[in-house]
Amino acid sequence: MEEMYSTREIAKFLNINEKMVYSLISEKGLPASKVTGKWLFPINLVRQWVEAGTENFPQTAKLPPYHGLVLIAGSNDLLLDKIISTFNIKHEKHMAMFGMAGSLGGLRALKQNLCHIASSHLIGDNDDYNFPFLKDEMNQMPAVVNFCLREQGIIVQKGNPQNILSVNDLNRPDITIVNRQLGTGTRKLFDHLLKDAQIKGEAIKGYETTLSRHMDVGLEILNRRADAGPGIRPVANILGLDFIPACWERFDLVIHKDRFFDQGIQLFLSLLKGKVIQTTAEAYGGYDLSMTGKMVYPATGTEKE
């Protein structure tokens, strides 16, 4: 069995304060598992994590020249799924494939040259999206194209029988939630909202129950295995659930500059101004396409109030 370190041991290994370990888990993807309420750290994976974050570390993988396959990794989204499907139907000599890795995982896959496009919606401490993490995770600033603005919030059961009005209600003893995995943009935003409300996640029943996709969260609530969970309005609309809005977020496509003009990348980006994305977004609800297809820069004001 792989050697596991405790929180104290991993803090000593990394030469940091124990409290910083928890920040690295949630914000930087430090490999960890929670067993009976305690964090354990597989030391071999931690060593790989340290190496992956090394500046000027020689790349172990390199994407070959474009030959018809567009690789996308990162955060999942219902509208993105539709555009990938449309791309594959429309362009017979090309194919787009998606790897669900969460926003942070997508950026790391892009850094390691394992994909052409990373989909990301990570909120920073200053409420800006993605750029604070691009500076940390990428060796050089990539091209960033907006895919959409999405309405994030809390999905609740139809009719909201528990009368949940905001995140402030989630630590009530009669409320059970389901959560998203660490490394996802939705989990990052949810923890951000809890911090603003001065609520500790551990005080919420179900906080440690995590799922991979937005739709998984919605289905748990639909089947009454949970009262609420963080997610996007389109999932609530599709499943006939209620939705407590929290904010609009920027969902971006992050692309290496030297691969930006590859034929497949440009064909994929051309769909962002097509009819399919417009009609699908209108049908789902909870999307704003006012920035879709536009190049995004750090100084641009992007949040929708």
pLDDT band of 301, cuts 50, 70, 90: very low
As given in the structure block, the two tokens for residue 102 are: 């969460």
CA 42 – CA 143 distance, rounded (Å): 34
The domain locations on the chain are 4-52, 69-145+252-281, 152-248
Mean pLDDT of 15-40: 80
Contact 177, 205 (CB under 8 A): yes
How much is the pLDDT for 287? 99
pLDDT tens profile 46-68: 887 777 666 555 555 677 778 89
3-state helix, strand, coil split of the chain in percent (to 5) is 40, 25, 40
Q: What's the alpha-carbon Rg for the chain, to the nearest Å? A: 20
User: In the 8-state DSSP scheme, what is residue 227?
Assistant: S
DSSP 93-158: T-EEEEEE-HHHHHHHHHHTTS-SEEEE--B-TTS-BSHHHHHHH-SS--EEEEEEEEEEEEEE-T
Lookup result for tokens 């129950």: 209
3-state class of 212 per DSSP? coil
CATH H-level superfamily of 152-248: Periplasmic binding protein-like II (3.40.190.10)
Say if residue 247's pLDDT is above 70.
Answer: yes
Say if residue 144's pLDDT is above 80.
Answer: yes
Mean pLDDT of 91-101: 93
Q: Is 13 exposed, middle or buried (0-12, 13-18, 19+ CB in 10 A)?
A: middle
CATH 3.40.190.10 fits domain 69-145+252-281: yes
pLDDT tens profile 151-180: 999 999 999 999 999 999 999 999 999 999
Is the pLDDT higher at 97 or at 28? Answer: 97
How much is the pLDDT for 303? 43
Contact 67, 25 (CB under 8 A): no
CA 123 – CA 194 distance, rounded (Å): 13
Question: Pairing mode, if any, of strands 210-211 and 179-180?
Answer: parallel
CA 215 – CA 209 distance, rounded (Å): 15
pLDDT tens profile 179-191: 999 889 999 999 9
Q: In this structure, what are the phi and psi dihedrals at residue 269, rounded to the nearest 5 degrees?
A: -65, -30
Q: What pTM does this model have? A: 0.79
Mean pLDDT of 277-299: 90
Contact 222, 229 (CB under 8 A): no
* 11: nearest Cα among 48, 44, 43: 43
